[in-house]
Amino acid sequence: VTVHLVGAGPGDPQLLTVRAVELLSTCDVVVHDRLVPAPVLALAPRATRIDAGKRRGGDPMAQHQLNDLLVELGRSSSTVVRLKGGDPFVFGRGGEEAEALDAAGVPYEVVPGISSALAAPMAAGIPVTMRHHASAFTVLTGHEDPTGDTDVDWEAHAATGATLVILMGVAHIEGIAKRLVVGGLDPGTPVTAVHWACTDDQRVTRTDLASVGAVELTPPCTIVVGDVAAFDLSPRLDTG
Only segment of 115-123, 149-157, 177-185, 227-235 that touches ligand SAM (CB under 6 A): 115-123
Q: Which CB atom, from 73 or from 117, has the smaller least distance to ligand SAM?
A: 117
- Considering the candidates 28, 68, 130, 168, report the single residue annotated as catalytic: 168
For ligand SAM, which residue of 140, 191, 197, 224 counts as binding (CB under 6 A)?
197
| 178 has catalytic annotation | no
Q: Closest residue to ligand SAM, Cβ-based?
A: 86
Q: DSSP states of the chain as a string?
A: -EEEEEE-BSS-GGGS-HHHHHHHHH-SEEEE-TTS-HHHHTT-TTSEEEETT--TTSPPPPHHHHHHHHHHHHHH-SEEEEEESB-TTSSSSHHHHHHHHHHHT--EEEE----HHHHHHHHTT--SSBTTTBS-EEEEE--S-TTSS-S--HHHHHTT--EEEEES-GGGHHHHHHHHHHTT--TT-EEEEEESTTSTT-EEEEEETTTGGGS---SSEEEEESGGGG----------
Contact between 85 and ligand SAM by CB under 6 A: the answer reads yes
Q: Is 168 in the site for ligand SAM (CB under 6 A)?
A: yes
Residue from 23, 87, 126, 162 in contact with ligand SAM (CB under 6 A):
87
Query: From the CB of 5, what's the least distance to ligand SAM, in Å?
Result: 11
Q: Which residues are catalytic?
A: 33, 54, 168
Binding residues vs ligand SAM (CB under 6 A):
10-11, 35, 84-87, 90-92, 115-117, 120, 167-168, 194, 196-199, 219-222
